[in-house]
Structure 1
Amino acid sequence: MGSGGLVRLFGPEYEADPMRVFEELRAKHGAVAPVLLTGDLPAWLVLGYRENLDVLRTPGRFSHDSRLWHQLKEGKVPPDSPILPVIGWRPDCLSADGEEHRRLRDAIIESLGRFDRRGIRRYVTRFANQLIDDFAADGHAELLAQYAEQLPMFVLTQLFGMPEEAAPRMVEATTELVKGSEKAIASNEYIRDVLGELVAHKRAAPGADLASWLISHDAGLSDDEILNHLWLVLIAANENTTSLMASTLRMVLTDPRFRASLAGGYMTLPDAVEQVLWDKPPTIVLPARWATGDTELAGQSIKAGDMLLPGLAAGNVDSEIRPDLEVPMHGNGSHLSFGGGPHECPGREIARAIADTAVDTLLMRLPDLQLAVPESKLSWRTTTWIRYLRALPVKFEPRRPEPLTSAGPSQRPSPRPAAEGSVPQDMSTASASTAPVSESGARPSWWKSLKRWLRRR
């Protein structure tokens, strides 16, 4: 409990079982409950499904612009607050509404839309096999650290036009940032420094990647706007996809009905991913919205400048829309896990593609995969915003790594010819000046300098 008896969305009680905290708040306050964030900053947690949609779909009442926050205006938020990197205003589509939001969102939607989904899945398969090769001969692995936390960032760095060497350090930095740890501010500065270098490089040497497409988009984005949209995609996609992969793998390994359904063809992996998005959403609380004026929500008096937190996990289990939580939700995509309204996650299909391809590849390579510990020994890592497994130890029959081919798991796939002016179908197809490795085998100077920079950090 916090000051005035309010519940804190941080600390041991919340981290141990956030869903229990949500249900206790729902029982006491209804669909909207007063809570405290780190630093005992007040906010309203939205618990009801319909109330969440109301907040998410009406930016005229509930804006994503944190400059409206009266706590910030009154100087009550310290500049080193660990929640500021997550909720602070930035020149991106999340912080904007109206025409400015449409301009910025169109740029990110259209740029992400240029990626070929088959090309993304080839990337996922390539890096998945590469990671599996690292532990296949051992007969055991810790799938969170060795697989789920690594794979999304390897794919994202490729989509961004970055070298593979950047991925491990970026995994560490994004984890610290989202945890809101004492390293959050420094980690955020590091990520922004790397992305700033990327934007500068791509202005000079554009390629077939997200950074280059944002630069050339008709919206005329500034370097600061480009950097902040890359930051947004990187943080949201990496953390959410990591959690989604881990939760789907846990379900595969611990629920015999699920494994039997999957093996019998009654449930596809996309179905399984959808079920996880209902029951174990990667983002449990979404940062954040601010009331544009005095209003009322579910009987609570909301003042102008109050912070509202869409409780996605709580909304997904609201008894008004899910009276029986045991009923499967296959084929029902109306969950809140990707948000909703004009700010709904633009990369949701990419996240799904990475997650289901990664799980499918792992099960194909290691079909006898099983937990190495009792399910009761699994524990969860919880922050104000996200929740996923701390570790997922598994065992299996040792296997030799996959043999290398010209497009094998440890090599860059061969480029395919593309029509004049078209986007390559294979996402690794880029000019030698922008690919991580050129035809001569030499890396461009920017990649060398970034590698040296990463080593110094």
Structure 2
Amino acid sequence: MTDHPADEEGAPRGCPVMHGGADDLTRLYGPDAAVDPQGIYGRLRKEYGAVAPVLLEGDVRAWLVLGYRESRRVLDNPLQFSRDSRIWRDWQEGGVEETSPLIQMLGWRPDCVSQDGEPHRRLRRAVTDNLDTLAGRGIRRHVTHFANKQIDAFAGRGSADLVGEYAEYLPMLVLTRLFGLPAAEGRSLAAACAQVLKGGPDALAHNDRIMEILGELAERKRLEPGPDFTTGLLGHTAGLDEGEIVSHLRLVLITAHTTTSNLLARVLELILTDASRLAGLVSGQRAVSEVVEEVMWNTPPLAVLPGRFATADLELGGTQIKEGDLLVLGLAAGNLDPDIRPDSGVSVHGNQSHLAFSGGPHECPGQNIGQAIIETAVDTLLHRLPGLRLAVPADELTSTASTWEARLDALPVEFAA
């Protein structure tokens, strides 16, 4: 890395290397990033401050926003930091291939996430109205059903991996019911969603498979409507066209599954590595929502949020940003920003001002559904598996990170068969 120069004393800092050579920039992908993303965030914060130049997959340049206040400014100001990637300069100038794995996360689509202003409000209304309807239709009953089916598969063994055999697939099984999909599609869709978020050479093929399944679903639901999210989008007063419907099915499916499965694994990890938390939950003296809140602060399911694009030359966190620059938001880094959390060990109970749900006009609309899945999944597991305990020392648990998230590899447990 190069030193971050000051243009003159007290003036915003620039970064010539951001718009020139890339050899000295830190990569947010690859073996090093997969092992210690928080270490990378810490080094970047020390060297650059609240905003750091980085490379994404394919050595595509971006600004990583590390500061909590700076992330809030970006999220709350769509006029300065647009979600519309059609203004992304590297894309306009041909610096990003259409086959790049980044396109699955950053490319423009006819969905509410890719737009601002009135087009965003129209499309988001269709999503939120239907999610609110689903939340009122006994979603916990669906979670309990699929949670028990998952647990039945390993309850007689006395041991399990709660990532691979529980958290990794449960949210998708619930989503298949909410979308009106056959449950048999759940496992393949969960794997495909994970690959889209992970990136790599297979991301495009997995995304195409998701779009194919969801396109067929939309066609079927036009002929056979039901009490599900897909039918709700088809009939909403916002008048979504075919492309908008399939794009929103994709958006909700990938986002809801990947974040909820990751969050469920992290909540279970925190419970099982702290005997007092586990005892409190089993006895009813603590609520699962308290643990979820702590995880949201310390290990949010989406570590880096894609992406925003500067609509003009501006200054952010003492750094000069140019029109068309890509910014990605370090949610995990921002939540641990020493300017707002000088002591990360202090309790965050009752404090919901974390960045885990994003913020501003694009704040996650499915928070209640995700919370219901997590709480019901944990309660069902603790009820079904007496004597539940971690089967390995806590320091042997490992995670693997991609640009956008860090996922727990496994959570081996033992219990009374």
Please say if 1:49 is aligned against 2:68: yes
Residue by residue over 1:390-447, the C-alpha shift from the partner in whole angstroms, topping out at 9 and shown as x without a partner, is: 111111111xxxxxxxxxxxxxxxxxxxxxxxxxxxxxxxxxxxxxxxxxxxxxxxxx
Alpha-carbon distance in 2 for matches of 1:263, 1:210: 34
Question: Match of 1:5?
Answer: 24
Unaligned stretches of 5+ residues in structure 2: 2-20
Between the two proteins, the alignment pairs up a number of residues equal to 398
- Cα deviation for residue 260 of structure 1 reads 3.9
Q: Is the 8 A contact 2:135 2:368 kept in 1?
A: no
Question: Match of 2:118?
Answer: 99
Question: Match of 2:98?
Answer: 79
The root-mean-square deviation of aligned C-alpha atoms, in Å, is 1.2
Question: Match of 2:127?
Answer: 108
- Cα deviation for residue 147 of structure 1 reads 0.4
Q: Is the 8 A contact 1:117 1:353 kept in 2?
A: no
Q: Secondary structure at the match of 1:190?
A: helix
Alpha-carbon distance in 2 for matches of 1:129, 1:234: 22
TM value normalised by structure 1? 0.85
- Cα deviation for residue 266 of structure 1 reads 4.5
Alpha-carbon distance in 2 for matches of 1:173, 1:16: 23
Q: Secondary structure at the match of 2:134?
A: coil
Question: Match of 2:8?
Answer: none
- Cα deviation for residue 264 of structure 1 reads 5.3
Matches within 5 A, 1:54-453: 54-117=73-136, 119-263=138-282, 265-398=284-417
Please say if 1:27 is aligned against 2:46: yes
- Cα deviation for residue 82 of structure 1 reads 1.1
Residue by residue over 1:226-253, the C-alpha shift from the partner in whole angstroms, topping out at 9 and shown as x without a partner, is: 1111101001110000110000000111
Alpha-carbon distance in 2 for matches of 1:127, 1:263: 21
Q: Secondary structure at the match of 2:354?
A: coil
Alpha-carbon distance in 2 for matches of 1:332, 1:115: 27
Go from structure 1 to structure 2 and tell me whether the alpha carbon gap of 1:117 and 1:355 turns closer, same or farther (over 3 Å shift).
farther
- Cα deviation for residue 88 of structure 1 reads 0.6
Go from structure 1 to structure 2 and tell me whether the alpha carbon gap of 1:372 and 1:118 turns closer, same or farther (over 3 Å shift).
farther
Question: Match of 2:56?
Answer: 37
Residue by residue over 1:264-306, the C-alpha shift from the partner in whole angstroms, topping out at 9 and shown as x without a partner, is: 5443101111111111100000010000111110111100000
Q: Secondary structure at the match of 1:105?
A: helix
Alpha-carbon distance in 1 for matches of 2:53, 2:135: 44
